[in-house]
């Protein structure tokens, strides 16, 4: 059997193991080790030891635990509840306004956290009771809350962003900055979609309480803390004041003192926040080490080079290559989560992207969008299961969540088409970054 075929078989077996719910890190280490040995590789321990050491020493990954801790502290401080209330005061009187406010709240939480699932869970906990109180259709309420989670990585920071940068050696700061415009554009498209749905069928999202202009202005103070975090991260990176790691640290210190000022931070919940951060970081590091082991096997198998030769032989244009990859990503997103998609595809796609001179920042935005789309795509979108589990006390079934997510899936697909057609949506801020 040729080296390329061993690479193909290894990738196929890895997909099967992931379908069987074998942990990602374990699947990649098993396939990578056995595949490398099947290729006649020598010095397995030394080779994979160096790969693991390279993963652990990667400075880019250091930003992840800092942002995770910031998200935990923001939750403790009540920052997300305040942001949701502020959005509710401004949008609640519109048809579908509470659902729109939940999306704005999700975007606010995404500024201080890096997890789609955490974003979905927290906003469901905060917003679902009020959505049900105002007689929102369960399908719209559930769909909006699940879709809000997709902003978890599209509004930096995010674990998938860090993972992509490590696997492709792309600048973390540039990818952070490039995602802000697409992330807020998708938020706007979701809001327009809800407005259209509720205009056609008003019973989906009845108007809630109306507020005076004075109440709106006073209520806006709930957005101040999130705005400061946004300025520290985007502004600091955009204008060259901070590196991503420095911006994360400064913003986390701000959120820490904000929680102290609100008198919500105790020794017990701070310890719990640190423990959760360490646990999630350890899991991410295990996945990263396993990915490096698998990447060594794939590189030695020469499968990526064979794929490059095949694609070049087809004489496809750059746009055709991107469209094909996006279709493949969409299909993979139906049964897989975003982390799995990136880990499986990037080692093989990266040489192809370089041969076709495809901007890796632009492709990163596309890939992360597709990964977030996977989180709301039935039947295994993880955000859908989170909302369904938390919606049981309100009589919301998994089928209702699936049905409610479909308009948001369609909106996200349209959004991907826009990103492919107009790369400057992703590259606008990057091209204007200040470097010192």
pLDDT value at 325 more than 70: yes
| 60: nearest Cα among 177, 183, 173 | 173
For residue 54, what are its two tokens? 């390279």
If you average pLDDT over each of 118-127, 181-190, 234-243, 277-286, which comes out highest? 181-190
Give pTM, 2 decimals. Answer: 0.88
**Contact call for residues 344 and 15 (beta carbons, < 8 A):** yes
Of 49, 12, 4, which Cα lies nearest the Cα of 344? Answer: 12
Residue 139 CA to residue 402 CA, distance in Å, equals 8
pLDDT tens digits along 116-132: 888 898 889 989 998 99
In the three-class reduction of DSSP (H, G, I as helix; E, B as strand; rest coil), residue 387 is classed as helix
What is residue 100's predicted lDDT score, i.e. its pLDDT? 94
Average pLDDT over residues 156-167: 87
Give per-residue burial for 397-428: e unless 16+ CB within 10 Å, then b.
ebebbbbbbebbbebbeebbeebbeebebbbe
Dihedrals phi, psi of 189, to nearest 5 degrees: -65, -40
- 52-56, 194-198, 338-342: least confidently modelled range: 52-56
pLDDT tens string 364-381: 999 999 999 999 988 878
- Residue 233: give the domain boundaries: 3-432
Indicate whether 80 pLDDT > 90: no
**H helix or E strand, kind and range, residue 175:** helix 172-200
> % helix / strand / coil in the chain, to the nearest 5?
80, 0, 20
pLDDT band at 436 (very low <50, low <70, confident <90, very high): very low
Name the DSSP letter for residue 234.
Answer: I
In angstroms, the CA 50 to CA 68 distance is: 27
pLDDT at 435: 55
Question: What pLDDT shows up at residue 406?
Answer: 95
Q: How many domains does the chain have?
A: 1
**Residue 9: half-sphere exposure toward Cβ, Cα within 13 Å:** 11
Question: Angle 3-19/303-313 helices, nearest 10 degrees?
Answer: 100
**Rounded CA separation 231/153 (Å):** 18
Give one word for 11, left, alpha or beta, with left for phi > 0 and alpha for psi -120 to 50. Answer: alpha
pLDDT tens-digit series, residues 239-265: 888 888 888 899 999 999 999 999 999
Q: Higher model confidence: residue 81 or residue 418?
A: 418
């Amino acid at each position: 059997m040729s080296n390329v075929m061993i690479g193909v078989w290894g990738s196929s077996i890895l997909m099967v193991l992931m379908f069987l719910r074998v942990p990602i890190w374990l699947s990649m280490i098993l396939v990578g080790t056995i595949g490398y040995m099947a290729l006649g590789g020598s010095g397995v321990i030394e080779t994979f030891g160096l790969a693991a050491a390279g993963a652990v020493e990667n400075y880019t990954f250091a930003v992840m635990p800092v942002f995770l801790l910031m998200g935990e502290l923001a939750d403790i401080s009540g920052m997300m509840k305040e942001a949701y209330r502020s959005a509710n005061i401004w949008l609640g009187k519109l048809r579908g306004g509470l659902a729109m406010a939940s999306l704005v709240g999700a975007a606010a939480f995404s500024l201080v956290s890096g997890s789609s699932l955490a974003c979905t869970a927290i906003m469901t906990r905060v917003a679902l009771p009020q959505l049900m109180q105002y007689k929102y259709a369960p399908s719209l309420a559930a769909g909006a809350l699940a879709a809000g989670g997709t902003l978890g990585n599209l509004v930096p920071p995010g674990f998938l962003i860090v993972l992509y940068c490590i696997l492709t050696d792309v600048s973390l700061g540039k990818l952070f900055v490039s995602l802000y415009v697409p992330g807020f554009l998708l938020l706007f498209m979701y809001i327009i979609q809800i407005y259209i749905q509720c205009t056609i069928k008003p019973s989906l999202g009845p108007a809630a309480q109306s507020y005076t202009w004075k109440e709106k202005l006073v209520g806006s103070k709930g957005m101040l803390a999130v705005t400061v975090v946004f300025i520290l991260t985007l502004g600091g990176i955009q204008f060259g004041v901070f590196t991503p790691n420095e911006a994360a640290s400064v913003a986390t210190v701000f959120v820490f003192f904000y929680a102290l000022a609100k008198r919500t931070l105790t020794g017990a919940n701070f310890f719990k926040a640190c423990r959760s951060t360490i646990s999630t970081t350890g899991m991410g590091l295990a996945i990263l080490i396993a990915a490096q082991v698998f990447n060594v096997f794939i590189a030695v198998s020469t499968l990526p080079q064979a794929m490059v030769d095949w694609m070049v032989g087809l004489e496809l244009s750059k746009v055709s290559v991107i469209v094909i990859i996006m279709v493949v990503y969409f299909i993979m997103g139906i049964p897989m989560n975003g982390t799995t998609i990136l880990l499986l595809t990037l080692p093989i796609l990266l040489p192809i992207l370089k041969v076709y001179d495809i901007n890796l920042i632009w492709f990163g935005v596309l890939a992360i969008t597709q990964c977030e789309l996977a989180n709301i795509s039935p039947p295994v979108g993880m955000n859908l299961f989170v909302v369904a589990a938390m919606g049981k006390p309100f009589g919301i079934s998994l089928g209702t969540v699936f049905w409610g997510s479909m308009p948001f899936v369609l909106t996200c697909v349209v959004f991907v088409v826009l990103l492919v057609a107009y790369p400057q949506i992703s590259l606008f801020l990057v091209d204007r970054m200040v470097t010192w």
